[in-house]
Amino acid sequence: MVDDEDASTPYGRHRQTSVYTTGMLTGSVPDLPADPDRLAERAREELDGRAYDYVAGGAGGESTMRANRRAFDDYRIGPRVMRDTGTRDLSTTVPGQEFAAPVLLAPIGAQGIVHEDGDLASARAAAQWDVPYVCSTQASEPLEDVADALGETPKWFQLYASEDRELTRSLVQRAEDAGYDAIVVTLDTPHLGWRERDLDRGFLPFLDGDGIANYTSDPVFRDRLAQPPEENPRAAAQEFVQVFSDATLTWDDLAWIAELTDLPVVVKGILHPDDASAALDNGARGVVVSNHGGRQVDNAVAALDQLPGIVEAVDEEATVVFDSGIRRGADALVALALGADAVSVGRPWVYGLALAGEDGVATVCENFLADLDLTVALAGYDAVDDVDESTIRSS
């Protein structure tokens, strides 16, 4: 028997021991719930209604969001026993980069609407746990400041390709100069989805200046303005709307973006095997299987249902990250068993940010890693890279 302090990843037992000991000795309970549903409910109670709906909402009647969660019910983990899991190793390589665990914090824009420290707080929390962080183009702070907050933590930059090619070029160059390790090109947002919660509230944070810091800090964007954004922020927000996304993009444009940088290019928003193959043919080295957390197309396919076919299509030629619907360690294990190299977590850590800033995001990271650590061990594995399709059963 190996003491947990000697384990390579002591997340699980260490977190349990800390919570239980504190609770039994002092009668206190954790500030944030471990249950992601209760966490969301707490955030709903604390946040301005517009901010909560922007984070929690999806496209149309939100059937895609529900489908994302239901898809996990189609699988069951088949635990194996007597396999010496006293020491666990959650580390993995994605793509060609060592991660402490196969978990990334997904790109989330306009974090300033839920907490004044926004992206800087979430980046510092990610750095506490060495969780790779994907900085959104729509960050509330410039990408350089987010990179500084992350330090040596793996960092990717998520790119919305602009109608202004020079602006796209500038954003990619800034990310490379700031030390980001990959460019994540989001492909599923040539237009914003029909989001009824936001429409009913008449709320889009970018028009209020939140989530456009990477534009107002960019020399190409600033050259487009008649006045500096500091003098006329409303005009800057209106100009952002004009250049935000390019609805005419084709695979040739992806190839052009890939040629702009020596960094690996990962594409986000892939739900069809043919699109995964086309992405690889045009310079991508990784794909993120994602339906944008159900925020773009109502009644769309569940992202998890598409994962096996996409894994087969890329045939180990590219990294596969799974995104959309991940809430617990068991969800991550299912996605890894279906062939994902890593998973990306979104809304839960934003709720942590809303409730307790940096500490809240750090707590969500710690809980998720602890849950994954124990789930991997209790499934019978001492290394996450050994998880494969034999780990799960179709229900």
Angle between the N-to-C axes of helices 36-46 and 49-56, in degrees from 0 to 180, rounded to the nearest 10: 150
* Residue 381 domain flag: yes
* Residue 156 domain flag: yes
The two structure tokens encoding residue 149: 């907050």
What total number of domains does the chain contain? 1
* Residue 214 domain flag: no
Residue 384 identity (one-letter amino acid): V
* Residue 372 domain flag: yes
Largest CA distance in the chain: 69
Positions annotated as catalytic residues are: 292
Residue 96 pLDDT: 83
CB atoms within 10 A of CB 326: 29
Lookup result for tokens 């800087």: 120
C-alpha separations of 239 from 67, 135, 174, 189, 205 in Å = 36, 22, 20, 18, 14
pTM: 0.96
Residue 395 pLDDT: 84
Residue 9 pLDDT: 55
- CATH of residue 17's domain is 3.20.20.70
Q: CB of 325 within 8 A of CB of 331?
A: yes
Rounded Cα–Cα distance for residues 58 and 68 (Å): 12
Rounded Cα–Cα distance for residues 386 and 89 (Å): 10
User: What is the domain extent for residue 14?
Assistant: 4-207+243-385
CA dihedral 47→48→54→59, nearest 10 degrees, is: 100
C-alpha separations of 343 from 46, 153, 290, 346 in Å = 28, 17, 10, 10
DSSP strand pairing (75-77 vs 392-394): antiparallel
Rounded Cα–Cα distance for residues 127 and 153 (Å): 6
Rounded Cα–Cα distance for residues 359 and 60 (Å): 33
DSSP strand pairing (133-135 vs 75-77): unpaired
Angle between the N-to-C axes of helices 273-281 and 303-314, in degrees from 0 to 180, rounded to the nearest 10: 40
Burial class (CB in 10 A: 0-12, 13-18, 19+), 129: buried
DSSP state of 106: P
* Residue 223 domain flag: no
* Residue 218 domain flag: no
Tens digit of each residue's pLDDT, the chain (395 residues): 334 444 455 699 999 999 999 999 999 999 999 999 999 999 999 999 999 999 999 999 999 999 999 999 999 999 999 999 999 999 999 978 999 999 999 999 999 999 999 999 999 999 999 999 999 999 999 999 999 999 999 999 999 999 999 999 999 999 999 999 999 999 999 999 999 999 999 999 999 999 999 999 999 999 999 999 999 999 999 999 999 989 999 999 999 999 999 999 999 999 999 999 999 999 999 999 999 999 999 999 999 999 999 999 999 999 999 999 999 999 999 999 999 999 999 999 999 999 999 999 999 999 999 999 999 999 999 999 999 999 999 98
* Residue 41 domain flag: yes
* Residue 19 domain flag: yes
Residue 7 pLDDT: 41
Rounded Cα–Cα distance for residues 341 and 321 (Å): 6
| 3-state DSSP assignment of residue 264 | coil
